[in-house]
C-alpha cells in the first residue's frame, strides 16, 4: 500500500514486512478512479514519471526496462518459434513493445481489464506505447480470466501474464484453474510466463504455491527467474515460466546472442545467469 510517508514523497509501504520504498515527487500529474482501480501518476525527481495502481508502484520511466525485457525476451527466446503471443494485463504496453521487437511474432493480443491504464500510459509513458499501432498488435480490454477460458485449444505459442499483485481483479490470475486454461490454450509445446512477485518476500508463499498450482494444472516444467527491479518491494522481483512439454530452463542461446534489436538489460548472458536458483529458493521449492 502506498501512503503519504513524508511531504513530497510517494511511498509504497509493505506493512506486513516492515519496509518501504520511497520516491521524491515533484508533482502529482493525474489521478483516476477507474471501474477497477485507482490509477495515479506522479513526476519524480530522479525516476521520471511514476504510475501507481491501488497504492502499488507499477512503472517508472527510469527502471521499467528491467521488468518488461525480462518478461518478454526470456519467454520469447525460451520458446522455439514464437508466432502467436497473448499478453494478459500489461496495460502500460511496455511488454507489448518488447514482444513486437521479435521478427518471428505474427500476432499479439493484449487483454487488460482496465482501459484507463492504457489511456494513462499513452499520455504519460508514450515511449512504452510506440508500437501500439504495429499491425500485429491487437489491444483489447476484457477480463483475462474469462478471455483465456474462451480461447481455442492450442491456438497460442506464448502467454505472458503481466499483472498486478494477487489482489482485486488479479486474484484469479494466480490460480490452478487459470493455469489449466492457459496450458490448454497453449498446447503441449507452448510457454506460459507470469510475473511472480519478490523472491525475498514471496518464495515461501506466492511463488511456492504457483509452482504447485502449475504442476497440478499439467505443467511438466516450471522455473522462476529473479531479476532486479528497484521500485518493487525489496528491489528484487521475479517471473515464472511453465510448459507442459518444453524444458523451460533451456533457450535459443545463439538467437538470443544475435538478437536483431536493442535492449537495455536483457542479453544471452543475463538470461543464462537468471536461470541460476539461489540456495534458499532451491530448498523452499523442493529442488534438492
Q: Does 195 engage in binding with ligand SAM (CB under 6 A)?
A: yes
Q: Is 76 in the site for ligand SAM (CB under 6 A)?
A: no
Question: What string marks each residue from 86 to 125 as x (binds ligand SAM by CB under 6 A) or -?
Answer: --xxxxx------------------xxxx--x--------
Between 63 and 157, CB nearer to ligand SAM? 63
- Do the Cβ atoms of 99 and 160 come closer than 8 Å? yes
Q: State yes or no: 61 annotated in a binding site.
A: no
Give the Cα separation of 38 and 60 in Å (integer): 17
CB neighbourhood size of 252 (10 A): 18
Quickly list H helices, the chain: 64-78, 94-99, 115-124, 144-149, 176-186, 199-202, 208-217, 253-257, 268-274, 279-284
- If one asks whether residue 210 binds ligand SAM (CB under 6 A), the answer comes out as no
Nearest to 277 by CA among 213, 233, 211: 211
25/116 with CB nearer ligand SAM? 116
Q: Give yes or no: 162 in active site.
A: yes
Contacting residue, 58, 158, 193, 210, with ligand SAM by CB under 6 A:
58
Q: Say how far apart CA 88 and CA 235 lie, in whole Å.
A: 23
Bridge partner list, 140: 111
Interface residue with ligand SAM among 78, 164, 238, 244 (CB under 6 A) is: 164
Site for ligand SAM in 215-254 (CB under 6 A): none
Return binding residues.
37, 68, 92, 112, 143-144, 162-165, 169
Amino acid at each position: 500500500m502506498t501512503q503519504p510517508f513524508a511531504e513530497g514523497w510517494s511511498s509504497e509501504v509493505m506493512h506486513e514486512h516492515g519496509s518501504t520504498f520511497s520516491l521524491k515527487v515533484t508533482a502529482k500529474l493525474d489521478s483516476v478512479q477507474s471501474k477497477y482501480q485507482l490509477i495515479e501518476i506522479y513526476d519524480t525527481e530522479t525516476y521520471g514519471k511514476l504510475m501507481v495502481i491501488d497504492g502499488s508502484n507499477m512503472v517508472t520511466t527510469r527502471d521499467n526496462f528491467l521488468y518488461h525485457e525480462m518478461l518478454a525476451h526470456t519467454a520469447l527466446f525460451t520458446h522455439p518459434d514464437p508466432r502467436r503471443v497473448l499478453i494478459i494485463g500489461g496495460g502500460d504496453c511496455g511488454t507489448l513493445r518488447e514482444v513486437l521487437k521479435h521478427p518471428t511474432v505474427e500476432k499479439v493480443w493484449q487483454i487488460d481489464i482496465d482501459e484507463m491504464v492504457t489511456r494513462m500510459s499513452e499520455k504519460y509513458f508514450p515511449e512504452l506505447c510506440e508500437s501500439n499501432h504495429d499491425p500485429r498488435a491487437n489491444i483489447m480490454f476484457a477480463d483475462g480470466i474469462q478471455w483465456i477460458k474462451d480461447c481455442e485449444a492450442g491456438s497460442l505459442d506464448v502467454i505472458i501474464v503481466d499483472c498486478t499483485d494477487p489482489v482485486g481483479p488479479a486474484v484469479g490470475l494466480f490460480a490452478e484453474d487459470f493455469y489449466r486454461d492457459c496450458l490448454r490454450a497453449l498446447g503441449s509445446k507452448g510457454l506460459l510466463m507470469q510475473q511472480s512477485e519478490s523472491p525475498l518476500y514471496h518464495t515461501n508463499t506466492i511463488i511456492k504455491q504457483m509452482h504447485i498450482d502449475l504442476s497440478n494444472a499439467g505443467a511438466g516444467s516450471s522455473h522462476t527467474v529473479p531479476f532486479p527491479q528497484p521500485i518493487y518491494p525489496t528491489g528484487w522481483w521475479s517471473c515464472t515460466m511453465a510448459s507442459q512439454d518444453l524444458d523451460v530452463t533451456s533457450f535459443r542461446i545463439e538467437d538470443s546472442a544475435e538478437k536483431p534489436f536493442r535492449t537495455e538489460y536483457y542479453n544471452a548472458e543475463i538470461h543464462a545467469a537468471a536461470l541460476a536458483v539461489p540456495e534458499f529458493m532451491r530448498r523452499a521449492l523442493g529442488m534438492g
